[in-house]
Amino acid sequence: MRTGHELFVHGLSDMMDAERQLVEALEENANDSSRAELKKAFEQHRKETEGQIERLQQCFELLGEEAEDTECHGIRGLIAEKKAFSEEDPSDDLIDVFNVGAAIKAESYEICEYESLIDMAREMKHTKVAQLLGQNLKEEKATLKKMEGFSDRVKPNEMMTEEQRQKAVASAKTSGRKRAA
Ligand SMILES: [Fe+2]
């Protein structure tokens, strides 16, 4: 690899693989989340992601290139994290919390990738390609915002271990007595 063009095609190919992996991961998140609003959000973004893959395909056509057979290791890593977490026998509420956090990481990663690809596309005067990537970026940003909203509301049912909880109750009582005295 020697040229910016080659780097750009490589980056686009990486995103193509990332989006393909995410279609599957989003499907899994929609299935294993328990809150209906989360299921719906993951399902909606899965459909959007299929459209993003089509836009990437159009980018390759406009460039007269084919997607390289490459693997997006960043997204692969996030999916591996989910697999490791699932093996810890998590409760339903923790699965929801984890899925929201994982989605925030994935969207943030995609946003960084799309922003740098758009910069490169503009640099190389691929206006239409930059426009298509911009549409994907817009959807990722909207999804990130939505997931951040969930993250404010979706919390573990039990925040502390039983031992920690009892200690907290005991110390609240002590400080209550001190205040009363
Ligand atoms: Fe995406």
Taking the centre of ligand 1 as the mean of its atom positions, its distance from the CA of residue 117, in whole angstroms, is: 13
pTM, 2 dp: 0.91
Q: Give the tens place of pLDDT for each residue, 21-58.
A: 999 999 999 999 999 999 999 999 999 999 999 999 99
Q: Give the tens place of pLDDT for each residue, 87-104.
A: 999 999 999 999 999 999
Taking the centre of ligand 1 as the mean of its atom positions, its distance from the CA of residue 144, in whole angstroms, is: 10
Q: Residue 122's pLDDT is what?
A: 98
Of 135, 104, 88, residue with least CA distance to 29:
104
Is the pLDDT confidence value at 178 over 80?
no
Taking the centre of ligand 1 as the mean of its atom positions, its distance from the CA of residue 51, in whole angstroms, is: 9
Query: Is residue 175 very low, low, confident or very high in pLDDT (cuts 50, 70, 90)?
Result: confident
Query: Is residue 134 very low, low, confident or very high in pLDDT (cuts 50, 70, 90)?
Result: very high
Taking the centre of ligand 1 as the mean of its atom positions, its distance from the CA of residue 83, in whole angstroms, is: 20
Over the chain, what is the mean pLDDT?
96
**CB count in 10 Å sphere of residue 99:** 28
The number of helix segments (H) and strand segments (E) in the chain equals 6, 0
Residue spans of the domains in the chain: they are 4-180
Please give the CATH superfamily to which domain 4-180 belongs: Ferritin, core subunit, four-helix bundle (1.20.1260.10)
**What letters, b where the CB count within 10 A reaches 16 and e where it falls short, cover 53-78?**
bebbeebbeebeeebeebebebbeeb
